[in-house]
Amino acid sequence: MEARRKVASIRDVAKRAGVSISTVSRVISKKIPVDAKTQEKVRDAIDELEYRPDLIASGLRSKSGKSIGLLVPRISDPFFTALIDHVDRCVISHGYNLLLFNTHSDPVFEEQVLDNLVRRHVDGIIFSLVSDESRAMELLTEVDVPVVMLDRVREDTKLMQLVLDNRKAGEIAAEHFLSLGHTSIACLAGPPKIRLCVERQLGFSETLKRAGHPMDGRHAFNGDFSFESGLAATERVLRAVPAVTAVWAQNDLMAAGLLKGLGRAGVKVPEQVSIMGMDDLLVAEIVSPSLSTVAQPVAEMARRAVEMILKTKDKMTITRKVLLKPRLVVRESTAKIRKG
């Protein structure tokens, strides 16, 4: 019996032609100009692989509807879970439908999903970048669809942006520890390829330096915003204790992992080490001791992102870059340093 041949995908075509998925889509749709040489490479790849676009699906996508697309890097992250909930409520309140996509922290998949949304003729797109290495920017700057980047953004774009003042968040965390008498402080940051992590770290370290207590480079760690990475960072924090008396984790989930790890090791929080998180999500109140944190206005972020989309559609004048303010929330996990 003859083996069944694998059906080629748009990703296969892009790989064979040496171009992006969005470029292949442009050649097929003919809606956005592509230079002749690139068109030829793509069409050759299509012929070689015998690729056949799903014309039925394409037809369905071409029908416009009152819908807004939302893309998040990781749907299981409590921050993005909260964001999705608020965006969904706001979109529905305006009579629209929400199309939700989880990009799984994969820049290639992110590009594919964004291209799909553009061809669906959605009324707007709200998304948070996978990382600074995301390759979707070129596509989005060429289309006539309102796009709002939020939380994770890049400066080198003309797209609308809605972002927290992350440097200020770092300053707030450092100032809180300093006010409690801590001078030897560590930081568990997020991935360095995500701009907001770098900005939070700069605000944090520069504030400590101005106060005359620069952070030791050995006390700067990186996680991936997951509970597991906070748990894994426990070993490095334990090696720094008792010299280090306070740690700021750049999200509540990593702080919760760190709390768990320190508890297993018999280290008391905040008696021996003060721990602080970032975001002010439900997990910050659930863990014991409850987490002091730097809060993000997630509901406001969601509301304003949807409003930016709708105002752009209605040709209304808007501020194209909005900087939101963080605030300090003090709970049980931070305390004045104990001397002696």
Q: What is the DSSP string of 1-41?
A: -PPPPPPP-HHHHHHHHTS-HHHHHHHHH-SS---HHHHHH
**Residue that the structure tokens 């809060």 belong to:** 295
Judge contact between 97 and 122, C-beta under 8 A. no
Report all structural domains of the chain as residue ranges with CATH numbers, in order of start. 1-53 (1.10.260.40), 166-296 (3.40.50.2300)
- State the Cα–Cα distance between residues 128 and 74, nearest whole angstrom: 10
Quick one: pLDDT band at residue 316, thresholds 50, 70, 90?
Answer: confident
- pLDDT tens digits along 115-171: 777 777 789 999 888 777 666 666 676 667 899 989 877 776 778 999 999 999 999
Residue 4, pLDDT score: 42
- pLDDT tens digits along 78-105: 999 999 999 999 999 999 999 999 988 8
Closest CA to 262 of 232, 224, 292: 232
Q: Are strands 292-295 and 274-279 parallel, antiparallel or unpaired?
A: parallel
Judge contact between 123 and 146, C-beta under 8 A. yes
Quick one: pLDDT band at residue 276, thresholds 50, 70, 90?
Answer: very high
User: What burial class does residue 227 get, using C-beta atoms within 10 Å of its C-beta: 0-12 exposed, 13-18 middle, 19+ buried?
Assistant: buried
Strand partners, 323: 163
Read off the tokens for 187: 């930081």
* Identity of the residue numbered 10: I
Report CA 147 to chain centroid distance, whole Å. Answer: 16
- Angle formed at CA 138 by CA 135 and CA 143, multiple of 5 degrees: 130
For the cut 50, the answer to whether the pLDDT of residue 55 exceeds it is no
